[in-house]
A and B are shown apart, each in its own frame.
Chain A
Amino acid sequence: MEQWKKQWTPLLPERVAEILERLPDDAPLLEIRLRCDRPLELVFDGSDRIVYGNNKAPIVEENELKALLRRLTGYSAFAWENERKSGFITVGGCRVGLSGRMIRTEDGVLGFSTVSGVCIRIVREVKDCAKPLLPYLLCGGRFRSVLLVSPPGCGKTTLLRDMIRIASDGLYGAVPCRVGVADERFELSGDANGAIAFDLGTRTDVISGISKSDAAVRIVSTLSPGILAMDELNDANDAKAVSEARGKGVAVFATAHGADGKDLRLRPAIGALLDAHVFERIALLEGVGRLTSVTDGDGLRVDAVSQ
């Protein structure tokens, strides 16, 4: 049985687990979406499937969703309070997005009063998936700073994780290098009770559980990395942390949501990074892990260079 089945079937409601067990082990499942009193949605690479119960009955009921949340949080809602405020929890390196009714106070968001939907993103560790990208990134065995860009669900995080492993272990012509990972949501390292669950290489240090920008500042100032890795650049704080790291001679591996360079420039913080030529390479992905183009800081297409 594939790892994701072993991980998820004991946690999910019985009817959902039965449906998943019937899927072939190599099914390219990306997401499991459960909504209260609605059918189940399974998202595959390139397609999705809506699964109803008998007589078009819903697959997941309210009490099953509540029980699922209890299992996902280890019966300890308090331990995930901050994450829940941000609309997600992370279970074994998989991000579980939540939807429902939230409560707002004068100080900000208090949390969910009712959770009506859960979106589980299946994480797979795909070793060597970053290998086709290496000829664009390596220069004399050293990595250039790179921004991986794609719409959600195209495997940026998986690719980034493999790049970290290759850089850290010095594989395929790369010079071994210390990598610091700012892992706000435990998605790169996978949370195994504070330990690193995924293979991120031998020279990798991770700071997780705090904002990416705060983690990046600590990594650069205390762990002296050669490369800083950050998943999903979002705001001005993230952009500032990347600029600071680059200014201190640290290469940066980062990802951002977007369909292309034009999309990215609509986001002020990321646009400013591109204008400042902080990234030496921008790799665009389409579909799951499919590399469409690699450009330099000026937006000019670059060719692969064999090492």
Chain B
Amino acid sequence: MKTIGIALLFALCCLAGVRLGAKKAAPLKMIRAMRAGLQSFSDRTASGATLADAAEPADDAFRERLSVYLESLSQGSAQADAAGRASAAFGASDAVRSGAELFFCGLSDAPRAELQRRIEAFGAVLARAEVDAENESKQARVLRSAGFLVGTGLAVLLL
């Protein structure tokens, strides 16, 4: 009975570490996907593709948010509302959300030079967010290790 209890306690500690770590590691994946999507979008728009066509081969995360923007516009929403809806889907951080809002608002009317400027500005926001997310990811690894260590320590003490 005691052994089962100790094993459960050990498992619980490890699980808590893994879950807390996973929460902190999730934004990094999303931001990396978003950066890859933005790069592919940039290449496609540079060769004359429309927004919808440019988003097609991009990562799901980026394409879905662009679709939200285009659908909102086609349903008659104002630019600010459409940009708000698209950027709300960026759950990463406030900085990424406001960067996304600046990227989207008026995107449909932007001339080529302005589009390029927006891509660069949003790319810079995502690059900063990636650095932050990498730090978080390191913390996640620490949390996972801490969970394992606490579990092991408690198990040794109780035995």
Contacts and interface: CB of A to CB of B under 8 A. Distances in A.
Interface of A: 67, 70-71, 73-79, 81, 111, 193
A171 B76 CA distance: 48
Contacts of A71: 74
11 contacts: A67-B76, A71-B74, A73-B108, A74-B50, A75-B52, A75-B70, A75-B107, A76-B108, A78-B110, A78-B111, A79-B45
Contacts of A193: 53
Name the residue among A74, A76, A79, A193 with the largest chain B CB count within 10 angstroms: A76
Interface in B57-90: 70, 73-74, 76
B112 interface: yes
B51 A74 contact: yes
Contacts of A73: 50, 108
Given A75-B73, A78-B115, A70 B109 contact: yes
Given A78-B112, A81-B112, 20 more contacts: A70-B73, A71-B74, A74-B52, A75-B51, A75-B52, A75-B74, A75-B107, A76-B45, A76-B50, A76-B108, A78-B110, A78-B111, A78-B114, A78-B115, A79-B45, A79-B48, A79-B50, A79-B51, A81-B111, A193-B53
**What is the predominant secondary structure among interface residues of chain B facing chain A?**
helix
A77 B112 CA distance: 8
B49 interface: yes
Contacts, number: 43
A77 B108 contact: yes
A89 to B, nearest CB: 12
A305 B73 CA distance: 57
B111 A77 contact: yes
A74 B107 CA distance: 12
B108 A70 contact: yes
Interface string B96-112: 00000000000111111
Contact of A76 (B51, B76, B114): B51
Contacts of A81: 111-112
Contacts of A79: 45, 48-51
B48 A75 contact: no
A70 B109 CA distance: 7
A75 B111 contact: no
A67 B112 CA distance: 19
A68 to B, nearest CB: 12
A79 B47 CA distance: 9
A194 to B, nearest CB: 10
B51 to A, nearest CB: 5
B49 A75 contact: no
Contacts of A77: 108-111
A71 B74 CA distance: 8
A75 B108 contact: yes
A165 B70 CA distance: 37
Contacts of A67: 76
Contacts of B109: 70, 77
A74 B54 CA distance: 11
For the complex of A and B, list the 4 residue pairs with the smallest distance between their C-beta atoms, beginning with the closest. A75-B108, A76-B50, A74-B50, A78-B112
Contacts of B112: 78, 81
A100 to B, nearest CB: 14
A111 B112 CA distance: 12
